[in-house]
Amino acid sequence: MTVFEPLERVGHSPLVRITTPVPQPHPGYFAKIEALGIGGLKARSAQSMLAGARRRGELRDGARIVESTSGTLGVGLAYVAQALGHPITLVVDSELEPAMRNLLRALGATLVIVDEPHPEGGWQQARLDALHHILAGDDAYWPNQYDNPDNAAGYHALADEIVSGLTAAGIERAEVLVCSVGTGGHSSGVGHRLRQLWPDLRIIGVDALGSRIFGQPATPRVMRGLGSSMHPGNVRYDMFDEVHWVGPNEAVHACRGLARGGFHTGGWSTGATATVAGWAAARWPGSVITIFPDGPDRYLRTIFDDDWCRRRDLLEPPHTQPHEIDDCEDPTWCWTRCESVRSPIGSVSARTEATAR
């Protein structure tokens, strides 16, 4: 058995064939189960961002790292920062599950908890405001996962693992990649690498209803992880053939269906990508691949709690097909799909929102 050094252990998650008939019967697709990689999905970007900063001399030996996180990057950063000998401060918000707070503290992180969302920029902007306040009085390093290109570059190895996993299964190429989008890191990194290999690969972005990333107005969301109330610099709008906004009903139904029918399940982004990957596998011939960003543990009191879901009407039957819109700024109120993706930065509605701030 090979004994890897801590940083060599990052990644290497299994590629699993999923046949659970969610949101409808389909011939199967492949999912990378990132919860089964050490440090999780975001240990990949944490490793890449910290290595880049150390190489450029921006992160000194033993210096403190400060970052805003909805949880997943916190775990990845904790793993990599421990291995490299850096203390970390994580700016989180009061919506972060208590168990995740305890885990991050147990891993040695200092937590700063923001308890009110920014009126327009939501929790993300509120966390960033607090982070800038901390940075002003300290010479700590801020990786800035939203705009740091090393975030996306950290996922090239994930693409390579997909290729070797498919090759081992006797499959020459994939036709469709389905990826959730938050900072844009893993969709950009994996999509860029796979497109170099397969230029015709169809890339589908998966966002949450109420997220601002692809041109919709920001509204309060229960779905966390994917989606954003800002326009992160790492999102490569030119890369996507289509975008889907998935609702919490579809995600809950998918997470629960996956757990019952295929064991591997996860949180909001896993439910959303499973919804779109199942739909895509039923629609297009050839291999569909996706990435399940995290596992179910932190969602046992939400997605997997009957009372919590019932109080929010999330156990109602979900849609099995997306509603179609022609323009990413057309209204959305349920699972929706748009095939003309463009950057909303500089669009009339984005400018109006910015002026309203």
Least separation in angstroms between CB 298 and ligand PLP: 9
- Sign of the four-CA dihedral 293, 297, 298, 304: positive
In 3D space, the residue among 343, 229, 259, 331 whose CA is nearest the CA of residue 22 turns out to be 259
Candidates 77-85, 122-130, 181-189, 193-201 — which segment interacts with ligand PLP by CB under 6 A? 181-189
Residues whose CB is less than 8 angstroms from the CB of residue 336 and which lie 6 or more positions away in sequence, other chains included: 209, 244, 245, 322, 323, 324, 325
How far is it, in rounded angstroms, from Cα 257 to Cα 245? 20
Question: Which listed residue (32, 44, 101, 186) binds ligand PLP by CB under 6 A?
Answer: 186
Q: What's the min distance (Å) between Cβ of 187 and ligand PLP?
A: 6
Residue with smaller CB distance to ligand PLP, 173 or 233: 233
Dist CA 118 CA 63 (whole Å): 29
Interface with ligand PLP (CB under 6 A), residue from 20, 125, 180, 265: 180
Helix crossing, 185-197 with 41-55: angle to 10°?
90
Task: Tell me: does residue 184 bind ligand PLP (CB under 6 A).
Answer: yes
Look up residue 253 and give its two tokens: 């139904």
The residue from 74, 154, 182, 205 that contacts ligand PLP (CB under 6 A) is: 182
- Count of helix runs (H) and strand runs (E) in the chain: 11, 11
Number of C-beta neighbours around residue 325 at 10 A: 18
Q: How far is the CB of 121 from ligand PLP (least distance, A)?
A: 16
183 binds ligand PLP (CB under 6 A): yes
Quick note: the x/- pattern for ligand PLP over 69-88, rule CB under 6 A, is -x-xx---------------
Shortest Å distance, C-beta 180 to ligand PLP: 4
Contacting range for ligand PLP; rule: CB under 6 A; set: 17-25, 159-167, 176-184, 251-259: 176-184
| The only residue of 185, 210, 215, 322 in contact with ligand PLP, by rule CB under 6 A | 185
- What is the Cα 290 distance to its own chain's centre? 12
For residue 77, give both structure tokens.
């950063």
- Contact positions toward ligand PLP, by CB under 6 A? 70, 72-73, 180-187, 225-226, 267, 269, 293-294
